[in-house]
Amino acid sequence: MGSAVFTRRAMLGGATGAVAAVAAGSTRAVADPTYPADPYPSKIPHLIEAEQLVDYLTLAPAANNVYKLADEANTVTWGTPGQPPTWVNKSQCASFQTHVLRHTYPDWATDAFFGTYFGSQSPTARVYRDKLANTSIPHFEPVPNVAALRPGDLIAIDYVNDQAGNTGHIVMVREIKGVYVAPSSTLNFDGETQYAVEIVDCTSDPHGEFGIGNYAAFPDVRLVDAATARQGAGYGHMMFYASNATGRFTRYRWSVNSSSTRTYTVAQRPIVAARVS
């Protein structure tokens, strides 16, 4: 009868070889990790300045951040870091965006620039929409497709009314949240894709109704709770629709829980978007 001699060295050697083989096999089986092209993309300067202002205003007294009346002067102040009460916004939708551009780009966003290209040192939302849609303006590049929007882009809407004050609305894109399908079929339209867009703006009418429908996923910082709504500059969400055929704007809704009565086509209220550089 033959005998086999198993030494401790042989046993350990065999075990080590087995472990190495398994490890080698495991290494071959596991794919290399993949990472986003840029997990922390840089922000455009005017979005940084707008966010800093809004963030401080949320800490300041409510009276520091209001949607001004027509006969009141625009006042937008980037205050002292660490001192929220020194930060102030008393403006309207268009004048807020103009102040952000002036503050960020003092070399070109001047009285002379706005007077030359917009016909006013403080253009209204209607003027912004008209000029950006029909005129070539330095530092503003048209963005015709909704899916091509980037943080920092401006979206201007003309209400096509007879009012000299409430002419429309203008917002700055903060983030494209992606495609949204409304739970109500009356808010989804054949041949169109709806996008949820987080925005920075100044308004007396925050975007949404607190606690209703999908509001929690697309809130407005000015709606503190069901009983408390603030005004002025802040973050909110709007819904913009694009044609599946062309990618261009087709309509918009004021908020995620706006009904069909607050959904407007571009024929009713023209829309334009532009990239600032």
Segment 52-67 shows an average pLDDT of: 98
Segment 96-104 shows an average pLDDT of: 99
Segment 195-216 shows an average pLDDT of: 97
Residue 91 lies in a domain: yes
pTM: predicted TM-score of the whole model, two decimal places: 0.86
Residue 4 lies in a domain: no
How many domains in the chain? 1
Residue 71 belongs to domain spanning: 45-276
Mean pLDDT of the chain: 91
pLDDT over threshold 60, residue 87: yes
Report the pLDDT value the prediction gives residue 188, as an integer from 0 to 100: 97
Q: What residues contact 73, with CB distance under 8 A and at least 6 apart?
A: 90
pLDDT over threshold 60, residue 55: yes
Residue 211 lies in a domain: yes
pLDDT over threshold 70, residue 69: yes
Between CA 108 and CA 168 the distance in angstroms is: 25
Are the C-beta atoms of residues 195 and 179 closer than 8 Å to each other? yes
Residue 35 lies in a domain: no
Residue 191 lies in a domain: yes
Are the C-beta atoms of residues 224 and 65 closer than 8 Å to each other? no
Segment 134-155 shows an average pLDDT of: 98
pLDDT band at 211 (very low <50, low <70, confident <90, very high): very high
pLDDT over threshold 90, residue 137: yes
Q: What percent of the chain has pLDDT over 70?
A: 89
pLDDT over threshold 50, residue 7: no
More confident position, 15 or 174: 174
Are the C-beta atoms of residues 64 and 53 closer than 8 Å to each other? no
pLDDT over threshold 50, residue 16: no
Nearest to 146 by CA among 114, 188, 177, 120: 177
20-53 pLDDT, tens digit per residue, is 444 444 445 566 777 777 888 899 999 999 999 9
Report the pLDDT value the prediction gives residue 29, as an integer from 0 to 100: 56
Residue 175 lies in a domain: yes
Residue 139 lies in a domain: yes
Segment 187-214 shows an average pLDDT of: 97
pLDDT band at 206 (very low <50, low <70, confident <90, very high): very high
Between CA 12 and CA 8 the distance in angstroms is: 6
Residue 25 lies in a domain: no
Report the pLDDT value the prediction gives residue 158, as an integer from 0 to 100: 98
